């Protein structure tokens, strides 16, 4: 994959609508999952984007209202992968919006996806969040394996290339059904991330769960940006069940591939010990982000 030209924005304001736990001293709902509200400004233009929607529409609506975020103004929705903790609120959100809405994701996002141990659990987009149901509700699906730039400075990575030796592809024991009807391991190739290029700041990497490997994701974002410096990494790193050695290798790789990193916020599925390790490694650059928290990256005047 060669370098891809990407535009830039003057500022990115990110507000956490859904995360496992609420921010300190708030009355927001903690909810296992992730949803990030992005406001991207370039000159007089502002685009409002939802990166993932979380598992429950009622929690999404409640937190958004309490934070003064008007979901009706959203311009597009980006889905990181199929899992319900990132997508299940979509049908309810589309019902609320009541208008056509661009929804970006991977072509395989509607495939079967489930686990059998310790018991059967369906992780897939099905029922009211199945393809036909969502399209009937106004979803204008844009499904691609390739990188796409819906707005100058905002890019979806497309399918992430696996380049590391130590990152497990998938990260969970999910299964799917292949074209011949066989039950096979699902490596979650639909896992995609977002990069935002902020003028004078650098690239901000946003990861839903990081099933593709957070170092693979950062490496791909660097390539797609044409070699711009990665200034921030935010979202799920999926290190919860990984050996602690992998966290240390991840930090070492960040030092190599993102030497200018000034903001790191592991969330959702990263895990307490990996997050603590990163807090120790990055000091003041480390941030905890929970539901209700907000951060802004702005170009120099």
The tens digit of pLDDT for each residue in 160-192 reads 999 999 998 666 789 999 989 999 999 999 999
pLDDT reading at 1 higher than 50 = no
Predicted pLDDT of residue 117: 87
Predicted pLDDT of residue 171: 62
Q: Which domain holds residue 25?
A: 11-298
Tokens of 24: 């300190």
User: pLDDT tens, 287-298?
Assistant: 999 999 999 999
User: Cβ atoms within 10 A of the Cβ of 300, count?
Assistant: 7
CATH number at residue 155: 3.60.15.10
> What is this structure's pTM?
0.96
Give the residue from 187, 246, 182, 175 showing the smallest Cα distance to 211.
187
Give the residue from 73, 83, 4 showing the smallest Cα distance to 39.
73
Give the residue from 31, 136, 15 showing the smallest Cα distance to 70.
15
Asked whether residue 5 is assigned to any structural domain, the reply reads no
Residue with tokens 């924005």: 9
* CA–centroid distance for 155 within its chain: 12
User: pLDDT tens, 195-249?
Assistant: 999 999 999 999 999 999 999 999 999 999 999 999 999 999 999 989 999 999 9
Tokens of 87: 């997508």
Residue with tokens 């120790």: 280
Cα separation, 120 vs 263, in Å, equals 38
Backbone angles phi, psi at 203, to 5 degrees: -95, 135
User: pLDDT tens, 66-119?
Assistant: 999 999 999 999 999 999 999 999 999 999 999 999 999 999 999 999 999 889
- Our count of domains for the chain comes to 1
Asked whether residue 3 is assigned to any structural domain, the reply reads no
Asked whether residue 209 is assigned to any structural domain, the reply reads yes
Cα separation, 68 vs 61, in Å, equals 10
Give the residue from 139, 168, 143, 167 showing the smallest Cα distance to 156.
143
* Local confidence band at 3 (pLDDT 50, 70, 90 cut-offs): very low
Asked whether residue 59 is assigned to any structural domain, the reply reads yes
Task: Report the mean per-residue pLDDT for the chain.
Answer: 95
pLDDT reading at 152 higher than 60 = yes
Residue 290's H or E segment, with its range, is none
Predicted pLDDT of residue 2: 46
| 188 and 172 Cβ atoms separated by less than 8 Å | yes
pLDDT reading at 285 higher than 60 = yes
User: Cβ atoms within 10 A of the Cβ of 27, count?
Assistant: 9
pLDDT reading at 5 higher than 90 = no
Cα separation, 282 vs 287, in Å, equals 9
User: pLDDT tens, 265-281?
Assistant: 999 999 999 999 999 99
Predicted pLDDT of residue 170: 62
Asked whether residue 287 is assigned to any structural domain, the reply reads yes
Cα separation, 36 vs 189, in Å, equals 22
pLDDT reading at 144 higher than 60 = yes
Backbone angles phi, psi at 154, to 5 degrees: -120, 120
Asked whether residue 1 is assigned to any structural domain, the reply reads no
2-16, 47-61, 90-104: lowest mean pLDDT where? 2-16
Asked whether residue 4 is assigned to any structural domain, the reply reads no
Predicted pLDDT of residue 4: 61
| 216 and 162 Cβ atoms separated by less than 8 Å | yes
Rg (CA), the chain: 18
């Amino acid at each position: 994959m060669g370098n891809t030209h990407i535009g830039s924005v003057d500022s990115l304001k990110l507000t956490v609508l859904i995360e496992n736990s609420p921010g300190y001293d708030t009355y927001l709902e903690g909810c296992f999952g992730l949803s990030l509200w992005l406001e991207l400004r370039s000159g007089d233009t502002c685009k409002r984007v939802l990166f993932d929607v979380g598992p429950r529409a009622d929690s999404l609506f409640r937190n958004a209202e309490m934070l003064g975020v008007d979901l009706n103004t959203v311009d597009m929705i980006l889905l990181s992968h199929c899992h319900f903790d990132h997508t299940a609120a979509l049908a309810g959100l589309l019902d609320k919006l009541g208008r056509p809405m661009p929804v970006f994701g991977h072509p395989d996002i509607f495939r079967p996806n489930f686990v059998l141990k310790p018991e059967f659990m369906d992780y897939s987009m099905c029922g009211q969040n199945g393809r036909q149901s969502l399209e009937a509700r106004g979803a204008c699906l844009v499904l691609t394996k390739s990188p796409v730039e819906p707005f100058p400075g905002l890019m979806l990575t497309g399918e992430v290339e696996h380049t590391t030796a130590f990152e497990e592809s998938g990260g969970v024991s999910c299964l799917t059904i292949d074209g011949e009807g066989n039950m096979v391991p699902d490596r979650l190739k639909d896992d995609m991330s977002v990069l935002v290029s902020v003028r004078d700041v650098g690239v901000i990497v946003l990861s839903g769960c990081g099933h593709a490997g957070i170092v693979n994701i950062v490496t791909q974002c660097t390539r797609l940006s044409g070699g711009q410096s990665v200034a921030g990494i935010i979202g799920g790193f999926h290190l919860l069940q990984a050996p602690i050695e992998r966290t240390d290798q991840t930090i070492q790789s960040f030092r190599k591939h993102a030497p200018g990193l000034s903001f790191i916020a592991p969330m959702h599925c990263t895990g307490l010990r990996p997050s603590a390790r990163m807090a120790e490694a990055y000091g003041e650059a480390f941030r905890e982000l929970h539901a209700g928290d907000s951060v802004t990256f702005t170009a120099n005047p």
